[in-house]
Amino acid sequence: YELFTNWKQIELIESDQFALLMYDAFHYLVWEYMGLNVGREIYSGDHPAWKFSHAPSFWIKTMQDEGVLPPIESLVNDIQPTTFFGFVSDEYVDAVLKDIVPKTMERFGMNEILAVVKEYQCFEDFDYRYSQQKNDFKNSYYHKKTKHPMISLEAFQEDYKKNHDGAEWDKADDSIDLEGDTAAKVDVERFMATLSEKDRQILELRVEGYTYQEIADKVGYKTHSAVKKRIDKIGSKFQEHTNTDIGFE
């Protein structure tokens, strides 16, 4: 009764802290019933599953429509000094959530969204802590996106082909592999040491398969063209450093 008549209690309920408590409470309640088969600590707060579980309005809407929760209007209108909100058993909560969570996910299209997210995962989906799922994704990502995990001529070759309609640059011997040549490795390492921290970051992100726009977002450039121009300048500098021509002007 005091929750609706005592201003101190009302201020508490209307506070940001209470709202955060409710978000976390629903998250802990519904997560294991969402069919994700992973622990809460696996994903980051950017993952759609995390956002869905922290959105009480979805779950409350279904519970009200299914008659599990009464409308707030009826609570306010019918409240009496003797009104008591009792606890329910764990068994009851389990039975309700087994029914409500799947219905809510189907009703609001959550399953389809999560299926797409699973197919196109990204690093931001995972929590910063180690997990087997995160490690598996990382290995899969580099296997698919990165032919060579080191900064090498091959990275510049890919950029050259993309920027010159698929044309190859002229080189004396196609069998040359910098990663297999110790002297070339040292040369590349010396070149990398001459670059600024931001330039090294740009190259590393490009080798990892990020697009120009994705790199721009990460390093703070406004447009993807700025990244392309920066890579062209780095490529030209690399040509001067190694006395090779790999197609950068």
CB of 231 closer than 8 Å to CB of 206: yes
Per-residue pLDDT at 231: 84
Per-residue pLDDT at 66: 93
Inform me whether the pLDDT recorded for 177 exceeds 50. no
Tell me the CB-side half-sphere exposure of residue 4, using CA atoms within 13 A: 15
Residues, the chain: 249
Mean pLDDT, residues 11-34 taken together: 89
Of the two residues 31 and 3, the one the predictor is more confident about is 31
Inform me whether the pLDDT recorded for 95 exceeds 90. yes
How far is residue 202's CA from residue 234's CA, in Å, rounded to a whole number?
10
Q: Which of 241, 249, 243, 238 is nearest to 154 (CA)?
A: 238
Which residues on adjacent β-strands are paired with residue 126?
Answer: 43
Per-residue pLDDT at 155: 61
Across 44-48, 169-173, 205-209, least confident range? 169-173
